[in-house]
Amino acid sequence: MGSGLVIGCHRSVLAVRGAVIPQACSDPLVSVRVTPGDLAPNNERVTILRAHLQTAAHALLEAGCDDALDEARLEVEVLYAEASGLTRAAVLARVSDEPDAAALETFEATIARRLAHEPLAYILGRREFYGMTFAVRRGVLIPRPDTETLVEAALAAVRAHPAARRLVRVADVGTGSGAIALTLARHAPTAKVWAIDESTEALAIAGRNMRTFQLQSQIVLLAGDLLEPLIDPMHVVVANLPYIPTAVVETLAPEVRDWEPRGALDGGEDGLAPFRALAAQLPEHLAEGSHAVLLEVGAGQAPEVASIVTAAIGGSASLHHDLAGIERVVEVRIGY
Ligand SMILES: C[S@@+](CC[C@H](N)C(=O)[O-])C[C@H]1O[C@@H](n2cnc3c(N)ncnc32)[C@H](O)[C@@H]1O
């Protein structure tokens, strides 16, 4: 080992939650050699940042918060960057330094939250979606990359609509953080979007995001059940409704099952109840002439959802695949 001091889990994040991860301290990735210059002025041993980061990453892995060490390391680096006000690149450039005490304390508190399976996005209070940063917190679904497939398809439907040069009326049903409504509004300037949710907690976050992106002139926030609160007929209806069968919700990762709102996940016994309820409301809320309905669905649900929608409003369905090749969006366009 040469002449350097070998230091390990001293003052590690593990102390914060009283957890003991026996292997972590003896892991070669965690034990780090430093020179005697790393002794603090009071002659106490110090632990360089790398050791704290690696100990935390191992703890997340051991607790089942992440599936792979690389994933855990990334989360840990992001959380230390957040705690210290540094960029991730700056954190990586300082891994051989002693960490700032205040940053370390904040970091350890956030690692304790993550070890309780709180999703990273809730800890950070934000999530990237379609190139925009959305505020999120417990009580609102964290936007998923799969939903970008729905946004792409909906943007195409809005731009192709005969009213595209004037004003296209769009409903985003179950808006949550406003991820779909706000990306559509930003990328389709002639769209006016009615963003509806039954959860007032979700609407509060959607409102906050709307103000952050300064899209108030294009967005109307409405509380209520599906399309019921609407007065004007819609050219395009877009929805990412809950579609996970009740029994499956129980089998999801604790990050989702225990932290994200049940009302955003649970689609009833077969996962399709919200689609049936929406389909029943569609005929009276679609504009005369040209209109489109686009729905995000779970894996394997597309054929059933397509027939639910076409039985209600006619037309024929086309399907859009996500990046994993799964049929993710059912679209029914009528009159254009
Ligand atoms: C899967 S989340 C989608 C959130 C957001 N649109 C997104 O894609 O990230 C479903 C949303 O639908 C809302 N919701 C569920 N049932 C509803 C209903 N009957 N009427 C209105 N909103 C509903 C939930 O509160 C939740 O915010």
Between 336 and 15, the higher pLDDT residue: 336
Q: How many beta carbons lie within 10 A of that of residue 247, not counting itself?
A: 11
Whether ligand 1 lies within 6 angstroms of the CB of 197 is answered as yes
DSSP 204-222: HHHHHHHHHTT-GGGEEEE
d(CA 53, CA 65): 15
Does the C-beta of 47 come closer than 6 Å to ligand 1?
A: no
Nearest Cα residue to 134 out of 213, 31, 59: 213
Domains and CATH numbers, the chain: 5-116 (no CATH), 126-334 (3.40.50.150)
166-171 mean pLDDT: 98
The amino acid occupying position 141 is L
Instruction: Pick the residue whose CA is nearest to atom 19 on ligand 1.
Output: 225
- 190-231 per-position pLDDT tens digit: 999 999 999 999 999 999 999 999 999 999 999 999 999 999
Q: Of 24-28, 46-50, 180-184, 276-280, which gets the smallest average pLDDT?
A: 24-28
The rounded Å distance from CA 279 to ligand 1 centre is 15
* pLDDT (0 to 100) of residue 26: 36
Across the chain, what does the average pLDDT equal? Answer: 89
Rounded distance between C-alpha atoms, residue 58 and residue 169, angstroms = 50
Alpha carbon of 27 to those of 19, 30, 48, 116, 327: distances in Å? 17, 5, 15, 23, 43
Q: Whose CA is nearest to atom 26 of ligand 1?
A: 264
Q: What is the pLDDT of residue 39?
A: 46
**Tokens encoding 19:** 């957890």
- A 10 A CB-CB count for 275 gives 26
pLDDT one-digit tens code per residue, 66-111: 999 999 999 999 999 999 999 999 999 999 999 999 999 999 999 9
Cβ-Cβ contacts under 8 Å for 138 (sequence gap 6 or more): 122, 259, 261
**Residue 4 reports pLDDT greater than 90:** no
Query: What's the distance, Cα to Cα, between the start and end of the chain in Å?
Result: 73
Residue nearest to atom 6 of ligand 1 (CA): 175
pLDDT at 139 > cutoff 60: yes
pLDDT band at 242 (very low <50, low <70, confident <90, very high): very high
Q: What is the mean pLDDT of residues 265-289?
A: 98
Band of residue 303 on the pLDDT scale cut at 50, 70, 90: very high
* Residue 150 or residue 27, greater confidence: 150
Closest ligand 1 atom, CA of 226? Answer: 20
Question: How high is the pLDDT of residue 47?
Answer: 85
Distance (Å, whole) CA 133 – CA 131: 7
> From the CA of 82, how far away is ligand 1's center (Å)?
29
Of 72, 45, 47, 56, the closest CA to residue 16 belongs to 56
Is the CB of residue 164 less than 8 Å from the CB of residue 139? no
Phi, psi (rounded to 5 degrees) for 122: -70, -40
Per-residue pLDDT at 46: 62
As to burial, measured by CB atoms within 10 angstroms (0-12 exposed, 13-18 middle, 19+ buried), residue 143 is buried
pLDDT average, residue stretch 163-190: 98
Asked if residue 143 has its Cβ within 6 Å of ligand 1, the reply is yes
